[in-house]
Amino acid sequence: MMDRAVYRIIDANFNRAREALRVMEEYCRFAVNNGSLSGRAKQLRHELCAAIGQLEQGKLLAGRDTLGDVGVGQRVENQLERATAAEAFTAGARRLTEALRALAEMVQAESKPVAAAIERLRYQAYTLEKDVVLFAGPVERFNRVQLYVIVTSDLPAEILSLASRCAAGGADCIQLRAKGMPDERLFAVAVEFVDICRDLGALSIVNDRIDIAAAAGADGVHLGQDDLPVEQARRLQLSPLIVGKSTHNDSELERAIGAMPSYVSLGPAFTTVTKPKIEVAGTDYIRHGLQRLAETGVSHVAIGGITHENVELLLRAGVQRVAVCAAVTEAPSPADACRRIKDKMAEFLSG
């Protein structure tokens, strides 16, 4: 009887783990749209099936007694209530690790190698859950952006004034780019910058400095080609941050995709005074970048020389988010300049 009970527990938790992995796989595939993460969930499911396949399948099926299971029909309040696909994923991930722990405990008596294999899968499941959450949440937040403004200045008063006026004009995301400011002052400015963005409903991004972004409570960090790698930046975050990465050509784009940032910037779209030494990538690169990103779940923003006059060229190429700098920050009224670009984008994207 005890042997039969063990196999009933193994069978129940094997089914529970497979079902949870299918939920996680489908979330990564259809909601996150990331083939790599979906593939990891699928591989984990196959490895679990292979491990359990080493046990006597006849005993598993013979031990199954759904009608006689006293747990069938028991319900906990709000047990199956899920407001979002992300909540379903999280619930699945928790069921998975619980089931894998139960399997590892019970399989010990039948096969220590199989139990060890299942225990390894449990730790892989923890890592997969972490990687999905740290990737998917920030991407979802960034995907709401249309107008992204880069404030380039080393003058605290100018930075804060521009951030306030651009956010008031409808900027969805604002980046603080202060290359020559001492760390202590940069941190103090970043704290105020983050507060302004939060109060006015804009995402706050700090250029280059993951340490400043994390310490100031910013929504994210943008990394250039010579900055800290995406993976290392994520190790320093205190909560899931939006992590952007600059790309200017196909090889940089491929390396960035491998690191799975929240978004990549594609450009320069046009000649830009902000980075005059970087060769213009043009709309062909941006169009190719959009096609390549489509199956990765990584978001995008077109950048470089974008103005109210030329933004429609990018929108027609499939761009949904644009980053502007001088066209807004050097305008007589940055708020009005933001509104004009945002209104043009909204009109095009809604039509």
Q: Given this model, what pLDDT does residue 80 score?
A: 59
Residues comprising the binding site? 175-179, 207-208, 227, 246, 272-275, 305
CATH architecture of the domain formed by 144-350 = Alpha-Beta Barrel (3.20)
Triad 58, 60, 62: Cα angle to 5°: 65
Indicate left, alpha or beta for 33 from its phi (over 0: left) and psi (-120 to 50: alpha). Answer: left
Q: Given this model, what pLDDT does residue 22 score?
A: 97
Q: Given this model, what pLDDT does residue 117 score?
A: 97
Q: Would you give the DSSP letter of residue 147?
A: E
Which amino acid does the sequence have at 27? Answer: Y
Triad 118, 239, 129: Cα angle to 5°: 20
Q: Given this model, what pLDDT does residue 58 score?
A: 77
Average pLDDT for the chain: 93
Task: Report the distance separating Cα 148 and Cα 121, nearest Å.
Answer: 41
Residue of 242 and 70 predicted with greater confidence? 242
**Residue 296 near residue 261 (C-beta atoms within 8 A):** no
**Residue 102 near residue 13 (C-beta atoms within 8 A):** yes
Task: Report the distance separating Cα 147 and Cα 321, nearest Å.
Answer: 6
**pTM as predicted:** 0.90
C-alpha distance across the termini of the chain, in Å: 67
pLDDT category at 2 given cuts 50, 70, 90 is very low
**Residue 303 near residue 280 (C-beta atoms within 8 A):** no
Residues comprising the binding site for Mg(2+)? 208, 227
Rounded mean pLDDT, 144-151: 98
User: Which tens digits make up the pLDDT trace of 148-162?
Assistant: 999 999 999 999 999
**Percentage above 70 pLDDT, the chain:** 94
Q: Given this model, what pLDDT does residue 348 score?
A: 92
How far are the Cα atoms of 59, 88, 171, 210 from residue 261, in angstroms, in the given order?
A: 46, 23, 22, 13
